[in-house]
């Protein structure tokens, strides 16, 4: 209506009539929709940011190099072991944002008192993989010829100590092992990760 009046006024050379202000109900409805859109936008932005924030903060709360427990199968299969049994365990290493799966050889064997023990196959000399030699009935390292008894006890060669034992437990009838890393070239076993 006011635009028609303005057109008439323009034609008649008169100043335009100012348009009427919006009705109070229209203004409050527009304000409400504005608020609503703002809140919805803020909620969506927060939801989208959560995965990003979790990704960025994850290394601050994750344990570095955490080694979990690995399942070696039913414990009863290891009763009365004649020779050490070779097994491969998979572990997940977490280092900051990097996660890697690595495989490690271990041997399930009998200790001096007939208790089960699990040995890492990493040679305590320079870290080569020690293997069980059924002909010699002993462990032998292929790198520099270090030898060990079936229990992991040192026999001969350059290694400064016997093979390292790993923490074990029996849970729900299954033998579990926690893989660890040890320092080489030192006479006493020293866990480094
Ligand atoms: S690395 Fe095993 S004897 Fe040297």
Assess whether pLDDT exceeds 80 at residue 120: yes
In 3D space, the residue among 83, 82, 62, 85 whose CA is nearest the CA of residue 72 turns out to be: 85
* Domain spanning 69-178, CATH class: mainly beta
In 3D space, the residue among 138, 147, 185, 167 whose CA is nearest the CA of residue 67 turns out to be: 167
Tokens of 182: 């040890």
CA 17: distance to chain centroid?
A: 72
Closest approach atom of ligand 1 to CA 130: 2
Residue nearest to atom 1 of ligand 1 (CA): 126
Closest approach atom of ligand 1 to CA 157: 3
124 lines ligand 1 (CB under 6 A): no
Domain boundaries, the chain: 2-61, 69-178
Q: How confident is the model at residue 108 (pLDDT cuts 50, 70, 90)?
A: very high
CA atoms within 13 A on the CB side of 50: 5
Q: How confident is the model at residue 64 (pLDDT cuts 50, 70, 90)?
A: very low
- Name the residue of 126, 129, 163 whose CB sits within 8 Å of the most ligand 1 atoms, as the mutation to test its pocket: 126
What are the C-alpha distances in Å from 125 to residues 54, 129, 183? 41, 10, 9
Q: Is 97 helix (H, G, I), strand (E, B) or coil?
A: coil
Q: Rounded to an integer, what distance in angstroms lies between the CA atom of residue 54 and that of residue 48?
A: 11
Output 1 or 140, whichever has higher pLDDT: 140
Q: How confident is the model at residue 104 (pLDDT cuts 50, 70, 90)?
A: very high
Q: What is the mean pLDDT of residues 67-90?
A: 92
Q: Rounded to an integer, what distance in angstroms lies between the CA atom of residue 111 and that of residue 113?
A: 6
Q: Rounded to an integer, what distance in angstroms lies between the CA atom of residue 33 and that of residue 30?
A: 5
Q: What is the mean pLDDT of residues 61-81?
A: 77
157 lines ligand 1 (CB under 6 A): yes
Assess whether pLDDT exceeds 80 at residue 87: yes
Q: Please give the helix or strand (H or E) that residue 187 lies within, else none.
A: none
Q: How many Å is the Cα radius of gyration of the chain?
A: 37
Beta-bridge mates of residue 129: 122
pLDDT for res 47: 85
Q: Rounded to an integer, what distance in angstroms lies between the CA atom of residue 51 and that of residue 130?
A: 44
Against a cut of 0.95, is the pTM above it? no
Assess whether pLDDT exceeds 50 at residue 182: yes
81 lines ligand 1 (CB under 6 A): no
146 lines ligand 1 (CB under 6 A): yes
Tokens of 40: 């919805």
Output 156 or 11, whichever has higher pLDDT: 156
pLDDT for res 155: 98
Percent of the chain having pLDDT more than 90? 53
Tell me: the pLDDT tens digits for 2-13? 455 556 656 666
Q: How confident is the model at residue 112 (pLDDT cuts 50, 70, 90)?
A: confident
């Amino acid at each position: 209506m006011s635009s028609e009046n303005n057109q008439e006024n323009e034609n008649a050379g008169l100043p335009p009539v100012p348009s009427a202000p919006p009705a109070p109900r229209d203004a409050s409805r527009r304000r409400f929709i504005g608020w609503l859109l703002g809140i919805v936008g803020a909620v969506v932005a927060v939801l989208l940011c959560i995965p990003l924030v979790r990704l960025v903060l994850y290394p601050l709360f994750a344990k570095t190099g955490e080694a979990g427990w690995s399942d070696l199968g039913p414990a009863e299969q290891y009763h009365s072991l004649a020779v050490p049994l070779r097994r491969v365990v998979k572990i997940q290493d977490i280092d900051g944002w990097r996660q890697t799966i690595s495989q490690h050889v271990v041997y399930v064997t009998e200790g001096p008192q007939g208790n089960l023990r699990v040995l890492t196959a990493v040679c305590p000399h320079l870290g080569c993989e020690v293997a069980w030699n059924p002909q010699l009935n002993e462990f032998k390292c292929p790198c520099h010829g270090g030898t060990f008894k079936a229990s992991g006890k040192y026999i001969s060669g350059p290694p400064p100590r016997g093979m390292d034992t790993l923490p074990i437990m029996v849970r729900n009838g299954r033998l579990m092992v926690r893989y660890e890393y040890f320092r080489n070239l030192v006479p006493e076993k020293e866990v480094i990760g």
